[in-house]
């Protein structure tokens, strides 16, 4: 059953998810003004799936049941599915100008599906069947599942089993006949509070000494012993201001990150997808990372489209749209943005079938895609700030523009003075100019920077992680042989 956005929001109210923020437990987190924009953002992924004009991108036919499902719960069956995934992500970036938080779950589904198949083939385990049954449940209920990979890691120079505190990596603390008990945490988890379930994966390749840390499983977001601490974002308390609107920049949508803690959580056997098979931890990590690095060639491009549009509006409102340097900057922003999209489409077009039958992207090109994402959005943002001008960060508050306090010698109010001195081109009102500048501030520096600029650097792994994968997959030895053949070296 495909839910609507409103049905999704109501489904969250039925959960008993434990959420903490600013040192306090948040009872009604669904309606909390800081959290709600991120929920609204996820709701768009449901509403667009109900719209016939977007059905081809937003929905798919389940390979497990034959039913129509949201594409975010789909196992990719072809290179065309991989391309549609990227196009869907660009569309949602354009509609929300934010992180819509469902990509990690989709990427986890596809990585765990193929990895469990190959694990079972070697060890005769039942993980693949466990996962298929779980995913059928997800598709049937149209649930959101957070894909959780990143552990706190503690001392980065030590492997998991040598950490002073074992909880710095999620690990198995007890094995029972009916399941396992796990402890630890996952950090900066995108959309975790807004998810119905979580799917946990190991964070790095493991050796035998770390087999208790090689664990993958699913659990409901309100499982006993599980809780979340909301991650702070720049300018987040503006959402708590009475009548907040213009100053928010993007008042309706936003992203979300949290620390997810597992305090001795019991996981039944049917939801276990890896429990000590350390030699497959690296495979799961690499496949998930590849899918997620492909994702950035869609979502960040969609947000980039909106940033470019906002910068062009700011230029027009400033009366500078005809300046040659402004036109050139907009061209450069477009060039960089479309280059990211090219990489996302290219790694999808070169996709291939795994042993399990779902499609994997080209890992080398996916890592090249994400490496570019660690750089280009920063330049796009820099150019947007250049075009917008300094007023983006020095403008008085919305309250000042609305103030009726008289301060001028002729009885002018603070609001009248602000509207007088911050007026620009006749193409816009002062408020419209203010709105686009606050929007750019939000994208470049504020809460939305988490879902665009900063996440472009660290999401789906650090820049060095991609460079390591590019080094592994770049086939330098093969390229040397090509040079030898042409140069006549035997």
Shared-domain flag, residues 281 and 294? no
Query: Annotated catalytic residue: which of 46, 59, 76, 99?
Result: 99
Query: Domain range for residue 23?
Result: 5-285
| pLDDT of the residue at 455 | 85
| pLDDT of the residue at 276 | 98
Does 98 reside within a domain?
yes
Query: Annotated catalytic residue: which of 257, 385, 398, 441?
Result: 257
- State yes or no: is 241 an active-site residue: no
| pLDDT of the residue at 118 | 98
| pLDDT of the residue at 446 | 82
| pLDDT of the residue at 447 | 78
Of 255, 285, 315, the last residue of a domain is 285
| pLDDT of the residue at 454 | 84
| pLDDT of the residue at 451 | 78
Of 266, 285, 304, the last residue of a domain is 285
- State yes or no: is 209 an active-site residue: no
Of 223, 256, 285, the last residue of a domain is 285
Q: What is the secondary structure of 376-430 as a DSSP string?
A: HHHHHHHHHHHHH-THHHHPPPHHHHH---B-STT--BHHHHHHHHT---TTS-H
| pLDDT of the residue at 229 | 98
**190 labeled part of a ligand binding site:** yes
Does 87 reside within a domain?
yes
pLDDT score of 1 more than 90:
no
Shared-domain flag, residues 377 and 234? no
Does 490 reside within a domain?
no
Shared-domain flag, residues 122 and 139? yes
Q: For the ranges 13-27, 278-292, 320-334, 437-451, which has the lowest average pLDDT?
A: 437-451
Average pLDDT for 388-403: 96
Shared-domain flag, residues 229 and 306? no
Shared-domain flag, residues 440 and 427? yes
- State yes or no: is 99 an active-site residue: yes
| pLDDT of the residue at 158 | 97
- State yes or no: is 299 an active-site residue: yes
Does 485 reside within a domain?
no
Query: Annotated catalytic residue: which of 219, 299, 343, 418?
Result: 299
pLDDT in tens, 176-217: 999 999 999 999 999 999 999 999 999 999 999 999 999 999
| pLDDT of the residue at 450 | 76
- State yes or no: is 235 an active-site residue: no
| pLDDT of the residue at 241 | 94
| pLDDT of the residue at 462 | 86
pLDDT in tens, 428-474: 999 999 999 999 999 998 877 677 988 899 888 889 999 999 999 99
Does 102 reside within a domain?
yes
Shared-domain flag, residues 269 and 397? no
- State yes or no: is 286 an active-site residue: no
Residue 244, exposed/middle/buried by CB under 10 A (0-12, 13-18, 19+)? middle
Percent over 90 (pLDDT), the chain: 95
Query: Annotated catalytic residue: which of 17, 190, 354, 374?
Result: 190
Q: How many structural domains are present in the chain?
A: 2
176: CATH = 2.40.110.10
Residue 267 DSSP label: E
- pTM confidence score: 0.96
Average pLDDT for 356-370: 97
Shared-domain flag, residues 38 and 114? yes
Shared-domain flag, residues 339 and 395? yes
Shared-domain flag, residues 334 and 414? yes
- State yes or no: is 369 an active-site residue: no
Longest distance between any two alpha carbons in the chain, whole Å: 91
446: CATH = 1.20.140.10
Does 487 reside within a domain?
no
Does 339 reside within a domain?
yes
Does 433 reside within a domain?
yes
Shared-domain flag, residues 250 and 234? yes
**Helix, coil or strand: residue 252:** coil
Query: Annotated catalytic residue: which of 46, 59, 103, 398?
Result: 103
pLDDT in tens, 316-339: 999 999 999 999 999 999 999 999
Shared-domain flag, residues 262 and 339? no
Query: Annotated catalytic residue: which of 296, 317, 341, 359?
Result: 296
Shared-domain flag, residues 296 and 194? no
- State yes or no: is 190 an active-site residue: yes
Query: Annotated catalytic residue: which of 278, 291, 292, 354?
Result: 292
């Amino acid at each position: 059953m495909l839910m609507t956005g409103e049905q999704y929001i109501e489904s969250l109210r039925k959960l008993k998810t434990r959420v903490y923020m600013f040192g306090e437990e948040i009872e009604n987190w669904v309606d909390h003004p800081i959290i709600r924009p991120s929920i609204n953002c996820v709701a768009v992924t449901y509403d667009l799936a109900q719209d016939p004009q977007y059905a081809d991108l937003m929905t798919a036919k389940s390979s497990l049941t034959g039913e129509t499902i949201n594409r975010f719960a789909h196992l990719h069956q072809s290179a065309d599915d991989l391309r549609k995934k990227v196009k869907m992500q660009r569309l949602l970036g354009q509609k929300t100008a934010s992180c819509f938080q469902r990509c990690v779950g989709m990427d986890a589904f596809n990585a765990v599906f193929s990895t469990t198949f190959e694990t079972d083939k070697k060890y005769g385990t039942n993980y693949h069947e466990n996962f298929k049954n779980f995913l059928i449940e997800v598709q049937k209920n149209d649930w959101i599942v957070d894909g959780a990979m990143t552990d706190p890691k503690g001392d980065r120079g030590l492997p998991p089993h040598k950490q002073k505190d074992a909880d710095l990596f999620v690990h198995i603390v007890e094995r029972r006949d009916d399941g396992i008990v796990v402890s630890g945490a996952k950090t900066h988890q995108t959309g975790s509070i807004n998810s119905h379930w979580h799917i946990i994966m190991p964070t790095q390749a493991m050796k035998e000494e770390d087999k208790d840390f090689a664990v993958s499983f699913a659990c409901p977001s309100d499982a006993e012993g599980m809780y979340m601490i909301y991650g702070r974002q720049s300018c987040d308390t503006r959402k708590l201001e009475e009548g907040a609107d213009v100053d928010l920049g993007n008042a309706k949508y936003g992203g979300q990150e949290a620390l997810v803690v597992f305090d001795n959580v019991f996981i039944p056997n049917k939801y276990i997808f890896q429990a000590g098979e350390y030699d497959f931890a690296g495979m799961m990590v690499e496949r998930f990372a590849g899918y997620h690095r492909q994702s950035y060639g869609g979502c960040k491009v969609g947000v980039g489209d909106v940033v470019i549009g906002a910068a062009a509006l700011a230029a027009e409102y400033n009366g500078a749209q005809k300046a040659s340097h402004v036109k050139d900057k907009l061209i450069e922003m477009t060039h960089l943005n479309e280059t990211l999209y090219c990489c996302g489409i290219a790694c999808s077009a070169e996709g291939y079938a795994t042993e399990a039958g779902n499609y994997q992207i080209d890992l080398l090109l996916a890592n090249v895609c994400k490496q570019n994402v660690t750089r280009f959005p920063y330049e796009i943002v820099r150019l947007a700030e250049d075009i917008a001008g300094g007023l983006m960060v020095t403008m008085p508050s919305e309250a000042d523009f609305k103030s009726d306090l008289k301060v001028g010698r002729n009885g002018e109010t603070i609001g009248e003075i602000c509207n007088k001195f911050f007026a620009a081109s006749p193409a816009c009102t002062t408020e419209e100019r203010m709105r686009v500048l606050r929007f750019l501030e939000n994208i470049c520096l504020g809460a939305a920077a988490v879902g665009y600029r900063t996440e472009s650097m660290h999401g789906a792994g650090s820049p060095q992680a991609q460079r390591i994968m590019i080094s592994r997959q770049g086939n330098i030895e093969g390229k040397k042989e090509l040079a030898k053949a042409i140069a006549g070296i035997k």
